[in-house]
Amino acid sequence: MRKKHRLALLFGAVPFIMLVFALPFVNRVEPVILGFPFVLFWIAVWVALTPLLLFLADRIERRSGPPDDPEEP
């Protein structure tokens, strides 16, 4: 796997990691940001950032070309 493909995969995995695995660490009501409890603000920010990160992953994939085919010599 090329380095650029790994970077694209990382960009795609970050929102999942932040919404699933990091959520127990930010699960608190205080502080209140923009009227939202912190955990709700955290989720809203990552839901808003997910399309941007997936767009960046797509741009990296398109620029790096097709993935390596392990079956070809």
Q: Name the nearest CA neighbour of 45 among 18, 25, 8.
A: 18
Q: Over the stretch 37-53, which tens digit does the pLDDT of each residue have?
A: 999 999 999 999 999 99
The pTM of this model reads 0.74
Residue 37 forms beta bridges with which residues? Answer: 32
14-27 mean pLDDT: 90
1-8 mean pLDDT: 76
Q: Name the nearest CA neighbour of 2 among 51, 73, 63.
A: 63
- CA pseudo-torsion sign 31, 34, 40, 45: negative
